[in-house]
Amino acid sequence: MTTERSLVIVKPDGFHRGLTGEVLRRIEAKGYVLAALKILTPPTALLQEHYAEHEGKPFFEPLVAFMSSGPVTAVVIEGEDCIKGFRSLAGATNPTEAAPGSIRGDLGRDWGEKVQKNIVHGSDSPESAAREIGIWFPEL
């Protein structure tokens, strides 16, 4: 196993529903450490950089608009294989398909924009985690 860092974001839908504490509780219960945390309404430029790989795709602009629509909680977590572990803890991208016991399976709703309004984001690889943490937490 490898100790690593990952970026986790409680998205505007999760923040609005008061689920940040529950998400953080599950992260800590899994044994991961909260290394950095901030609450902000992300500016468009930050989100465009974060989602740059999707620029030009039909969902890019709606995703940036959704993510800038209200406060989010951005967290850097640390732990053994935490990237893979958190993605398992989060559950399938579509909350309807996410397994019971996962964040999205237990807390997600069947929204029209399932890929956008699915409570959390988690980095998908060590490379993505390093890039994303650099965008959201340049001071680290």
Residue 99 has what DSSP assignment? P
Helix and strand counts by DSSP (H, E) for the chain:
7, 4
Active-site residue numbers? 121
Largest CA distance in the chain: 38
Q: Is 25 annotated as a binding residue?
A: no
Closest Cα partner for 66 from 56, 53, 51? 51
Any known ligand binding at 87?
yes
15 is in an annotated binding site: no
Whether 104 has a binding-site annotation, put simply, is yes
- To which H or E segment does residue 9 belong? strand 3-10
Return the structure tokens found at 16. Answer: 């609005």
Tokens 């967290």 locate to 75
**Binding-site residue positions for ATP:** 11, 59, 87, 93, 104, 118
**Binding-site residue positions:** 11, 59, 87, 93, 104, 118
